[in-house]
Structure 1
């Protein structure tokens, strides 16, 4: 009897603790006190006073810390083995655009990987700037264009999109056109390129079916504790797309803006931090592990994201579960790694899980590094009103609505890119 009561109390206690851990905090009064690390002070406490000191000392040590403890480092180099233009047309979007579907192939350790870039470019005699971003359900889902090829890669089931048995079919064509303002980009003089992210690394807790496996030796089944999770793998894929853009005579590779939403917004920031060839970076509703500050512990937290998506980050990141104060960096410094290139962080009013205030603070506190370069960050530490963008080298808006990508978002991104990149 005593043992039964003890076990019942034990179960109740740990059930309450577990429920408390899973229940997110949406109350500003419960945000813990914290002190943000100074992006312009080295880990040894020395003040950074020049661009040279930032680039030679501070930036490398911040980047290395992220590589070793959060996203993971890529364990080697892997160049494009071959480029295959699968399809091309000069009559896309009513004749206003060129369409290309280009497959990049990679080979290493008797393994291979292939992914396809869907590209739309406005018709012009000049090289054009390009927005580059991953999509969640296949290239054919982002447009009604019947000529876009359907990926054969694994995909998460979504019956509302007609996706079952983890396979893409014609039924899902065009189901995500609402997230991509392709004609607006073309009309503004920008090209657009997208990749289905599952072709680079399927979004499952299994790191034996994506690009990581090409680097495994002997009987290795997963990366080392400090090596890449899926976000770093997806960022790697974006850089390989950049490798191709440098070969494409129609694309201005010096003006490629990397874009991402949600987990892919985390990816765009990490890609921009690692690859300085990207001319600008856009983070849309990227939340925890993206633009939002870890130390606020608001909405999604490190413990929650590692429990739900243990494959996104390197295993060393789990050392900070429920211990954000132990981190010697925070996400304003990730954004600062993009400097002096333009960066745009965007939030949604109803997307509290992604912590809109924390995303704003991430962008705001990156400002001192941009100012070191003579660039304009966000000048006021008060979050702006809804649907009132701040358009500087560091840009920000919070719009009405939920976790999504809307025409309002794209109108701001295009206007910003015309001013700072085009």
Structure 2
């Protein structure tokens, strides 16, 4: 695949120009005005507005089992419980902490979008989609949550899951009400609430990672929650890491038609009108600065569009430079299996199709080893 040649034609919103037309020239201006403005635009037009942060009722119930993974890890099964006007709910977090070495440990929080069979607590069914053993062997704690604990991945009018617990709307939901990706991101932040309290973990060295819809969720969760030191988005494509303007493969209309529950009501009005959207995904990546971000693509995943995923990183780089980091420093689009590790930014293109593999995880951890988490 050749380097994206459409960037100049995309007419992207200027990430360093405020809505008032003023240029953003300092970190203070970015943090004080432009970054909050960008998050508000994404709430309004894309992901929706969450009505609650950390619930006052939230509690953790933990079961600890030492000697798992043939003695290599301690297993912690955590139920994060909460309640709202619509009832009670819980999100289950599975965590393996290394038994060897010296803590507190950095950790990868994986947002699992393929069901609980991918995160077997007994480790009878081991999958490279979440290779917890490999993560632990590299000196990281391996945490995972099943996204559908927070909200079922079905178009049911946002009545179930955390929407049904916390929504307080009379009649029709507002166009900017939170949708499913936002509900999943909310759950990721509640998992971070627990991870930040675990004495075996280093709360300043927690990564959030996801694949496909989980990768979209990781980006939004990471943008909202600055406790995540590293955000990893694997093949997240449309309304994830890929630019919407000029995108090949899955468009805004295609994703809204197939998954109308993922994004808020306003987002549907931009079907076929990407150029009218006041944001694009480079702005979401920029909102992570100065924290680390890693984006991964696959050669055959044309629906996600690797060129647009890489271009979004390049277009977010000015904000990283504003913070004193070079990002990927103008690196060209790489060949497969030629990962790029820059200052606070990483990227790789893998051979094959839409999946999350051992190769991907090893590169995520290589990037973390290179300074993102260690």
TM-score category by the smaller chain? over 0.9
**Alignment match, 1:266:** 216
Instruction: Give the root-mean-square deviation of aligned CA atoms.
Output: 1.9
Q: In structure 2, how many angstroms separate the alpha carbons of the residues matched to 1:218 and 1:369?
A: 37
Unaligned runs of 5+ in 2: none
Unaligned runs of 5+ in 1: 1-27, 149-172
After TM superposition, the structure 1 = structure 2 runs for residues 4-403 of structure 1, keeping only pairs within 5 Å, are 33-79=9-55, 80-85=57-62, 87-123=63-99, 124-143=101-120, 145-146=121-122, 174=125, 177-206=127-156, 207-217=158-168, 220=171, 223-380=173-330, 382-392=332-342, 393-403=344-354
Q: In structure 2, how many angstroms separate the alpha carbons of the residues matched to 1:381 and 1:335?
A: 17
**Alignment match, 1:12:** none
Q: In structure 2, how many angstroms separate the alpha carbons of the residues matched to 1:90 and 1:59?
A: 43
> Once the two structures are superposed, what CA deviation does each residue of 1:367-414 show, in whole Å capped at 9, x if it has no partner?
010011111212225311111011021111111010001111111100
Structure 1 residue 133, shift from structure 2 partner: 1.3
Q: What is the TM-score normalised by the length of structure 1?
A: 0.83
Q: In structure 2, how many angstroms separate the alpha carbons of the residues matched to 1:105 and 1:239?
A: 13
SS of 1:98's partner is strand
SS of 2:128's partner is helix
Q: In structure 2, how many angstroms separate the alpha carbons of the residues matched to 1:41 and 1:29?
A: 24
SS of 1:129's partner is strand
Q: In structure 1, how many angstroms separate the alpha carbons of the residues matched to 2:50 and 2:269?
A: 20
Structure 1 residue 43, shift from structure 2 partner: 1.8
Q: What is the TM-score normalised by the length of structure 2?
A: 0.93
Structure 1 residue 290, shift from structure 2 partner: 0.4
Q: In structure 2, how many angstroms separate the alpha carbons of the residues matched to 1:29 and 1:358?
A: 10
Structure 1 residue 189, shift from structure 2 partner: 1.0
Q: In structure 2, how many angstroms separate the alpha carbons of the residues matched to 1:140 and 1:352?
A: 27
Is the CA contact 1:282–1:343 (under 8 Å) kept in the aligned structure 2? yes
Q: In structure 1, how many angstroms separate the alpha carbons of the residues matched to 2:328 and 2:8?
A: 24
Q: Relative to structure 2, which stretch is displaced further, 408-417 or 344-353?
A: 408-417
SS of 1:106's partner is strand
Is the CA contact 1:361–1:381 (under 8 Å) kept in the aligned structure 2? no
Structure 1 residue 234, shift from structure 2 partner: 0.4
SS of 2:249's partner is coil
Runs of 4+ in 1 over 6 A off after TM superposition: 28-32
SS of 1:295's partner is coil
Q: In structure 2, how many angstroms separate the alpha carbons of the residues matched to 1:394 and 1:218?
A: 40
Is the CA contact 1:260–1:284 (under 8 Å) kept in the aligned structure 2? yes
SS of 2:135's partner is helix
**Alignment match, 1:415:** 366
Q: In structure 2, how many angstroms separate the alpha carbons of the residues matched to 1:218 and 1:338?
A: 31
Q: In structure 1, how many angstroms separate the alpha carbons of the residues matched to 2:117 and 2:165?
A: 27
Is the CA contact 2:208–2:222 (under 8 Å) kept in the aligned structure 1? yes
Structure 1 residue 57, shift from structure 2 partner: 1.1
Structure number with greater Rg is 1
